[in-house]
Every structure is written in structure tokens, then in C-alpha cells.
Amino acid sequence: MQTSEDRTGHPEGLVESMLEGVGPRLRELRQRRQMKLSDVATATGFSVSTLSRLESGNRRPTLDLLIPLALIYRVALDDVVGAPPTGDPRIHPKPIRKHGRVYLPLTGPVAPVQAFKVVLPPRRDGKPAKQAVHGGYEWIYVLSGSVDLALGSEVTTLVAGDAAEFDTRQPHSITGSGESASEILTLFSPQGEQLHIRDA
């Protein structure tokens, strides 16, 4: 018979305890990404019933299932299984390149607000950028260069040291406006991070 001490102190008990928490963590990660089970099923190729049983704890998690889910939710596998913290508060960002831009994550993948340093390419032509719309707010701070912040038909040019915040339910875009690359800091809501970076 396994005691409560075994559950917390013995390696086998620790593993079982970690596995029991996988389902709720998967559900939380999916909801934080504002994804439906059907969305995850389409992205991974797993059936909705398999995903549902994983989240409810009726399907034992395996690496074949957890690794693709960790990639979809953009978290480390340790975060999915609830591995004990290492005590290291540092973040080890990996650049994400999308359409000529470089996004450098400055927050952990499960933070409620995602912070990025973004390198914008120099102005290339006079064509207006495609504008996005999503829930939440966005905040930007220009580190170097200059950028054009378009909110609907209004365009504001920001230079190094300028900051701006805006309601992202209105059409918006941010583009480099100078002859050289520009750098900004930006805070995204989960919806904004998904739209601008993951699904761009």
C-alpha cells in the first residue's frame, strides 16, 4: 500500500503525482491560448476524444502525445508535466522570425502577458501594411529607429524613447518607417501574440 509520504517523497510516487496534474495543465494551456479541442485536433492530428480524455485524466499521457502539444502551446515539456522548478529565474529566449521581423521573447511561455523585443525591417515601399484586429490592449516602446503606428486610417510616427498603447479591437499595424531597422519592446495579450506571431 502506498502512503502519502511515498506519494511525495518516493520517485515513483512523485512521477504518478506529476502525471495526475498533466490533464488540468493541458486544459489551462489550451484555454490560455483560446483554442478549442477541435483547433488542437486539427493542429496535431490527434482526435478530439483523445485530447478530451487527456485533459480529464482518463488517458495516460505519453511523450508521443505531450511533445506535439507542448509545441502547439509553445511551452517547455517541463511545464506540461509539472517538473520541479530548477530555481533559475533566467529566461532563455529563442528568436522567432516572421516575414522579415525578428521576435525575441522576454517572458516565459505561460506568462499572462507576453513581452517581446521586436526588430522591424526598414521601410521598403509606400504600400500600407495589412492591419490586424483582436481583443485586448497592446503597448509598445521604441528602442531605436522609427516606426509607423497605424490605427485605422490614422498613422503616427514614433521615434526612440516614444511609447504608445492602444485598444487592439481597432485595426492596427506597426511598421518600420526609417531607412534602417528599428527595435521596439511590445506587450501582447495572448490573442495578440497568437495572431501577430504564431499565425502570421
DSSP characters for the chain? ---HHHHHHSHHHHHHHHHHTHHHHHHHHHHHTT--HHHHHHHH---HHHHHHHHHT-S---HHHHHHHHHHHT--HHHHHTPPP-S--------EEETTEEEEE-S-TT-SSEEEEEEEPPP--SPPPPPB--SSEEEEEEEESEEEEEETTEEEEEETT-EEEEETTS-EEEEE-SSS-EEEEEEE-HHHHIIIII--
- Given a cut of 70, is residue 190 above it in pLDDT? no
Q: What angle do CA 50, 46, 95 make, to 5 degrees?
A: 125
Mean pLDDT of 62-68: 87
CATH number given to 4-81: 1.10.260.40
What's the pLDDT at 14? 53
Question: Does the predicted TM-score (pTM) go above 0.75?
Answer: no
173: which 3 cell numbers?
499595424
Structural domain spans, the chain? 4-81, 96-198
Q: What is the pLDDT of residues 136-177, one digit of tens each?
A: 788 999 999 999 999 999 999 999 999 999 988 899 999 999
What's the pLDDT at 2? 43
Q: What is the pLDDT of residues 136-147, one digit of tens each?
A: 788 999 999 999
CATH second-level architecture of 96-198?
Sandwich (2.60)
What's the pLDDT at 148? 94
Determine the Cα–Cα distance for residues 13 and 174; give it in Å rounded to an integer: 51
